[in-house]
Structure 1
Amino acid sequence: MNQTKTRRRGRAAVVVLGDIGRSPRMQYHALSLARQAHLEVDIVAYGGSEPHSAVLEHPSIHIHRMTQWPSIPQTLPKILRPFMLMLKPLVQFLMLFWYLCVKIPAPDVFIVQNPPSVPTLVAVKWASWIRRSAFIIDWHNFGYTLLALSLGRNSRFVTLYHWIEKHFGRMADGSLCVTKAMQHELAQNWGINATVLYDQPPEFFQPASLEEKHKLFCRIGKSLSQPYSRQDCLSYGILGTDSVDSNLTPFTTQAEKDIYLKQNRPALVVSSTSWTPDEDFGILLEAAVMYDRRVAAILNEDDSSGEELIWEEIRNEKQFLYPRLLFIITGKGPEKEKYEQKIRKLNLKRVAFRTMWLPAEDYPLLLGSADLGVCLHTSSSGLDLPMKVVDMFGCGLPVCAVSYSCIKELVKVEQNGLLFSSSSELADELMMLFKGFPDECDILKSLRKGVLETRSSAKWDSGWEENAKPLISQVISQRLGPM
């Protein structure tokens, strides 16, 4: 193609065959393209969850929401299901192709999230030919390994998916990826030269102030006060409060203009999950049961009595050696209801669970208000890193994460977090970290200090400027001439 005949348009298209509100890295790409590269940005994605307000309010970012493929009804005859499964990618391809070629202005570059690979990579590559645009893939993981979780590695569909992903992946003008391990895999076995762009939190992920914590807990107070079972250690009935006091939360209290953290507050543990098979939430449930029973044994309590423990009336100093734990689990996904049913059947005295979906502006505040983060992500490929841990570190929150091949690129053991491989190991870490909470938990404080020391040098904007912007400029120049 004669490059001199193609003029630059000053636009970029960010493509996500998924919910843009649940694709934080692609939202950050859009913000950087608009702020740092000074481009008009068109986001083509599904709706569902609202993106961050910074994306919604930026005048140079334009969101184009496609209609999502409906879920297959359970009443559909089994003989028709294979037909529907084959029809789905065809319909997705036609809709995505229409948006990329007709609905949005021709961009200088398409930046597409992978996975999903089919039909995304095919549609974007063809659109880049037609519109004479550069084509960059941002590799978050491998699509064929995710498909293999449900179909198995030996499935013919997985083999075909792998071929399509590799074939069209090699046709991109440039590639970004999330880890050095993935960069090595792409280079050695796929013939793809990728630039590592580590996930980093944007500026709105930071530790929460005491006032921000109090206001957040007041906003979500209704959700906190509703236990899954008849009562638990956080429900307001046990605390002796029949209604939600706007100045009183399980963690904070306000007297006139002064806000205080309660000395006998529960420890707040946060986990964000997509409720999918690559995150075994059962590990967290088992660890919670172990923590509950171990503390009961230390306190010489009879777990079989079924009597609720009224913490405000306990005066024995030994009772406060280990705190109550509140696990707040955020996220949406297919296995959420299954695990909520399991939570309802647990008979825990010192541990409570709440599941919720928070607005984009409240999620960083929750992380910045918590005492510990737990990550259950195991990676279908073993080559990606969990964005949720990056967000937690941005908010100054130490992490306990499932151990797998490349997680140490992110979690530095005994510096900013700990790793575990079983529910028993996680229970051990909970006992160790929260002993003497809130004042005498020295190991937890040391981990938080380590997170805060490293977060100042880890910024999305600087990483994007150093790694992504040069690649984008290079592929645009090769296709359309100098920027």
Structure 2
Amino acid sequence: MGKRGRATVVVLGDIGRSPRMQYHALSLASQASLKVDIVAYGGSDPHPAVLKHPSICIHKMAQWPKFTQNLPWVLRYFVLLLKPIFQFLVLLWHLCVKIPAPDVFLVQNPPSVPTLVAVKWASWIRHSAFIVDWHNFGYTLLGLSLGRGSRFVAAYRWFEKHYGQLADGSLCVTKAMQHELAQNWEITATVLYDQPPDFFHPASVEDKHKLFLKLDKEFRHFEGVRDCISHGSRHMTDESHDSLFTTIFKTGVIEKSTRPALVVSSTSWTPDEDFDILLEAAVMYDRRVAAILNEDDSIKNEAIWDAMNDGKQIMYPRLLFVITGKGPEKEKYIQKIKNLNLKRVAFRTMWLAAEDYPLLLGSADLGVCLHTSSSGLDLPMKVVDMFGCGLPVCAASYSCIEELVKVEINGLLFSSSSELADQLLMLFKGFPNECDVLSSLRNGALETRSSAAWATEWEEHAKPLVLEVISRNST
């Protein structure tokens, strides 16, 4: 196929934090039988399936110096001009010199500037085709920090639209984005919905136990903070057969009836995800459960949760929120978490190895997504991954989210912290054995998982486009 048998995947970002582009690389190599070069930044390790594939080679680019982040405000606009020039030259060097000439460049957008410009120039120089995979609009992300009325944002939008129109083909993540590109950008795009690859699946109780043992120290300790997880840990053995959630019984591994509910949220710690909503919902859950139980503050925390209350098991569990991801606002929110002083809710922030992240999702009880989209036209990949693991989701509501989250089937939508708190109370009432609504949503998430797969979607929608643009370009 094609005259060179090669494709180049371009990401002006951390390839380890770009799952969709990793999946593209795997499909180009395995389903289209191409040699694949990935040109991206380093930082986080990609999935082992990418690292080990014999037909995939990763080329890591030099990054813009980090010391420029601390420059005075007056120099900010100078950096906004200088940084893309530096990125453009580095990117062009890799695309035109460092790697073999491909049949097709497949580039992630955003960021748009200078990525689309550099890739288009490289496609001219190397006589290659050029496909844009539209994840969002770059100008809307820039508008979060500079304001939509900024001249920089207007210029950015012009470059994004002009060079997007010069592409030989386009993919996008939603029907809403496809409509926007067609109506207002004069770009025809093929919808390729995100789907989880095969390594996202529900975890067995044995796999859960191994993961929980591996993460046990991080679960029990959080930078010196004593909470409902670390405070009660003295009642648990440190022996290797016992974790916070699981233990080994005569019949094998079992989940503890007094375990906390495990809630997972993945975030990039950026302004388009309002993490305050989750913190406020946690405070509301904590206070509302206290009011329901009419607790005496003198009762010790571990007695409330690990024993019985008047001979009956507590109706509402402790909640352990595990927040994964890296980003600019992480430290700010860690400080907020430390000041919450909650009795029934605990937070842990982690960055997991690529092979452990699917296991965590497959071991959790609920996923929470705070993504609202700068454009309102993209869908959160994290929810796709959660459904791949059969994990039901509470997601922030915005214009096109219902293309993914089907209300009361595989998840729920919220528009405020109060709504999210109500959902947590409703879903976890009677945990772990009498949560009918949570069980129903989990079944819906499992059905969503089985309805489609990345390889099937890519074969049907992306592969024909790749073949077409290569064929057209080689004639």
TM-score interval (norm. to shorter): over 0.9
The residue number in structure 2 matching 1:370 is: 364
The residue number in structure 2 matching 1:3 is: none
The residue number in structure 2 matching 1:22 is: 17
Which deviates further from its counterpart, 79-88 or 146-155? 79-88
User: 1:78, 1:449 → 2: CA distance?
Assistant: 51
The residue number in structure 2 matching 1:438 is: 432
Among residues 293, 296, 302, which one is paired with 2:290 in the alignment?
A: 296
The residue number in structure 2 matching 1:140 is: 135
* Matched residue type, 1:382: G
Q: Secondary structure of 2:367's match?
A: strand
* Counterpart contact for 2:23–2:197, Cα < 8 Å: yes
* Counterpart contact for 1:403–1:421, Cα < 8 Å: yes
The residue number in structure 1 matching 2:121 is: 126
User: 1:49, 1:349 → 2: CA distance?
Assistant: 34
1:225 aligns with 2:223: no
1:167 aligns with 2:162: yes
* Counterpart contact for 1:239–1:312, Cα < 8 Å: no
1:104-138 deviations in whole A, cap 9, x for unaligned? 00000000000000000000000000000000000
Q: 1:252: how far off?
A: 0.1
Which deviates further from its counterpart, 454-463 or 142-151? 454-463
1:388-407 deviations in whole A, cap 9, x for unaligned? 00000000000000000000
1:402-442 deviations in whole A, cap 9, x for unaligned? 00000000000000000000000000000000000111100
Could you say if the C-alpha distance between residues 234 and 183 of structure 1 is closer, same or farther in structure 2, counting changes exceeding 3 Å?
Answer: same
Among residues 80, 83, 87, which one is paired with 1:85 in the alignment?
A: 80
1:245 aligns with 2:239: yes
Q: 1:73: how far off?
A: 4.3
The residue number in structure 2 matching 1:465 is: 459
Among residues 382, 388, 392, which one is paired with 2:382 in the alignment?
A: 388
Could you say if the C-alpha distance between residues 329 and 75 of structure 1 is closer, same or farther in structure 2, counting changes exceeding 3 Å?
Answer: closer
Among residues 372, 393, 397, which one is paired with 2:391 in the alignment?
A: 397
Q: 1:85: how far off?
A: 2.7
Q: 1:315: how far off?
A: 4.1
1:436-478 deviations in whole A, cap 9, x for unaligned? 0111100000011111122112100000000000001111111
Could you say if the C-alpha distance between residues 434 and 79 of structure 1 is closer, same or farther in structure 2, counting changes exceeding 3 Å?
Answer: closer
Among residues 452, 458, 470, which one is paired with 2:446 in the alignment?
A: 452
* Matched residue type, 2:221: Q
* Counterpart contact for 1:178–1:197, Cα < 8 Å: yes
* Matched residue type, 1:362: D
* Matched residue type, 2:39: V
What does residue range 75-224 of structure 1 map to in structure 2 within 5 Å? 76-224=71-219
User: 1:24, 1:181 → 2: CA distance?
Assistant: 21
User: 2:337, 2:145 → 1: CA distance?
Assistant: 25
* Counterpart contact for 1:229–1:345, Cα < 8 Å: no
In structure 2, stretches of 5+ residues that fail to align are none
* Matched residue type, 1:207: P
Q: Secondary structure of 1:314's match?
A: coil
Q: 1:75: how far off?
A: 5.6
Q: 1:318: how far off?
A: 4.8
1:344 aligns with 2:338: yes
The residue number in structure 2 matching 1:410 is: 404
* Matched residue type, 2:464: P
Which deviates further from its counterpart, 241-250 or 137-146? 241-250
User: 2:273, 2:299 → 1: CA distance?
Assistant: 31
User: 2:182, 2:199 → 1: CA distance?
Assistant: 34
Identity of counterpart residues, as a percentage? Answer: 74
Which deviates further from its counterpart, 221-230 or 37-46? 221-230
Q: 1:306: how far off?
A: 8.7
1:62 aligns with 2:68: no
User: 2:384, 2:54 → 1: CA distance?
Assistant: 27
User: 1:393, 1:340 → 2: CA distance?
Assistant: 27
User: 1:99, 1:75 → 2: CA distance?
Assistant: 28
Q: Secondary structure of 2:233's match?
A: coil
* Counterpart contact for 1:299–1:319, Cα < 8 Å: no
1:284 aligns with 2:242: no
User: 1:395, 1:457 → 2: CA distance?
Assistant: 13
Q: 1:159: how far off?
A: 0.2
Q: 1:245: how far off?
A: 2.5
Could you say if the C-alpha distance between residues 272 and 248 of structure 1 is closer, same or farther in structure 2, counting changes exceeding 3 Å?
Answer: same
* Counterpart contact for 2:220–2:233, Cα < 8 Å: no
Among residues 3, 24, 31, which one is paired with 2:26 in the alignment?
A: 31
* Matched residue type, 1:83: F
Q: 1:228: how far off?
A: 4.8
Alignment RMSD (CA, Å): 1.6
User: 1:217, 1:179 → 2: CA distance?
Assistant: 35
User: 1:437, 1:228 → 2: CA distance?
Assistant: 28
Could you say if the C-alpha distance between residues 354 and 213 of structure 1 is closer, same or farther in structure 2, counting changes exceeding 3 Å?
Answer: same
Q: 1:230: how far off?
A: 3.7
Could you say if the C-alpha distance between residues 242 and 426 of structure 1 is closer, same or farther in structure 2, counting changes exceeding 3 Å?
Answer: closer
Could you say if the C-alpha distance between residues 73 and 416 of structure 1 is closer, same or farther in structure 2, counting changes exceeding 3 Å?
Answer: same
Q: 1:246: how far off?
A: 1.5
The residue number in structure 2 matching 1:254 is: 248
Q: 1:238: how far off?
A: 1.7
Q: 1:257: how far off?
A: 7.3
User: 1:195, 1:73 → 2: CA distance?
Assistant: 38
Aligned length: 474
1:271 aligns with 2:265: yes
* Matched residue type, 2:344: R
Which deviates further from its counterpart, 387-396 or 218-227? 218-227
User: 2:452, 2:69 → 1: CA distance?
Assistant: 46
1:422 aligns with 2:416: yes
The residue number in structure 2 matching 1:4 is: none
In structure 1, stretches of 5+ residues that fail to align are 1-6
